[in-house]
Amino acid sequence: MFDYSPVLQDCVVVSVDLIDPATQEIVKTLSKSDFDSKYRICENCGHAFLKAEMTYCQSDGCYYCDDCRDELLEKCYDCGNWFLLEEMIEVPFGYYNSRLYCEDCAEHYGTRCSYCGEWRPFSDLIYCVDTEKYYCNDSYRCNEGIEYCADCGDAYEYEDYLHWNDEDDCYYCDRCHNRHTDTGVTGYHSHCYDEFRHNAGENRVLVPFMGFELETYAVDQDNERDVAEYTDSQFDTYFAMEHDCSIGAGIEFITQPCSISYHLGMMDKITDWSRYLVRHGYNSHNSAKCGLHIHLDKKYFGKKLDCATAKLLYLFERHWENMIRFSRRNARQVEQWCGKYEERDSTEVRYDDYGNRTSQQVVPGKKYASILKKTYKERYRAVNLCPSNTIEIRMWRGSLNPETIEATLKFTARLMELCKKASAVELHDMSFEDLLGDDPVVRSYWERVKNRAI
């Protein structure tokens, strides 16, 4: 550290004297160009330091010594550059931690409210589709007057972009408005699914019962009424039809809970029906969002429910890559819609008090018991344990191929039976080929998909 004294000639700096603060003596006199090539003046304290030992601030384009830097600047967690502390944005991380980011990097995690100007994470903001602006979610002053589509939930700043429905007493956006013109397709989760169907001699304790949700997508909705009427004419109440905003312009077909043999008895009708949907512009596999979700009846497992659930989690994670291949999804889709509970086998991801990520070994046998207690917020998992009466398998990708639907139902039913009847040791010794069994439809399907890239 040096004090400095510029030497002027006709009001132009021609040289700089470096002065020892202790003795006030000139240590060295440098030309202005030599000084500028090696030294910088700290913007805060005014002392001269070697440029290489100072910190450059992106906020004001100035240099700061170490002491002043620690007092006035902060390093952005993402880009690693230094900025004035007063200009940094604190981004929440986890439940109790936060990190500091510069304005540009913070845009990946949130933005400023268009009304009050306060920075908020996206989770605390409302995005208005019509104006493409964000507003604070918890401040009536900021979001006053915003209206929502009652179907998809999108927010709008101006009512002119919404349609008022007198019958439902609510607003719908342009995309959802046509869905509520009495086509026979209802709002999301508006039905009761308790009409258990089975063949003679079957009951829920002895054979697997399940219901499935097949999500479909259509580029437009011109044929929705025809599709709904055809479905009703072929299946009566076997299928309920609902709109699901997560898949956009399509129909989610949801069955009643049935024994596996009852479902398989419907396959001839499902074959003709699926071809009808394809001819009328519907698809399922071709949309990355569509799934074939199967709900497993918990009553089948009886008192062994927790044990069977742990076995099911174990099978999916032990054979994870083959399960993805069977599902026909790619790794990115799996991560978004139906991921693992743990990021790594036998590890539990944690964060320290400073927000730094750490990994701790999990005691063998503890992992799945821990999952069972912490799943009320874990819907988007391959095995969703949130429903009260069912276990939902979310991993399978949607399809209108009858063989795929049949193979998926049969394989899922086999997993139910194995988790109820086979011991943990027996499941551990099984290969994925063993899990598939010898059903010809399942084996044919697996030969078709087993080489898919994930």
The reported pLDDT for the residue numbered 336 is: 77
- In the chain, DSSP finds a helix count (H) and a strand count (E) of 16, 30
The reported pLDDT for the residue numbered 350 is: 55
Task: Evaluate whether 305 touches 416 at the Cβ level (below 8 Å).
Answer: no
The answer to whether residue 233 scores a pLDDT higher than 90 is: yes
Calculate mean pLDDT across residues 199-228.
Answer: 90
Read off the pLDDT of residues 374-417 as tens digits, 9 standing for 90 and up. Answer: 444 467 889 998 888 999 999 999 999 999 999 999 999 999 99
Read off the pLDDT of residues 84-112 as tens digits, 9 standing for 90 and up. Answer: 999 999 888 766 788 899 988 988 888 99
Query: Alpha carbon of 403 to those of 210, 250, 260, 325, 406: distances in Å?
Result: 18, 22, 15, 16, 5
Residue labelled with tokens 């003679």: 200
pLDDT band at 444 (very low <50, low <70, confident <90, very high): very high
The token pair at 297 is 């009846």
* Gap between the Cα atoms of 64 and 51, Å rounded: 9
Grouping H, G, I as helix, E, B as strand and the rest as coil, residue 148 is strand
| pTM attached to this predicted model | 0.57
Read off the pLDDT of residues 312-361 as tens digits, 9 standing for 90 and up. Answer: 999 999 999 999 999 999 888 888 778 877 543 444 455 555 555 555 54
Domains of the chain: 3-83 (no CATH), 109-181 (no CATH), 183-341+378-449 (3.30.590)
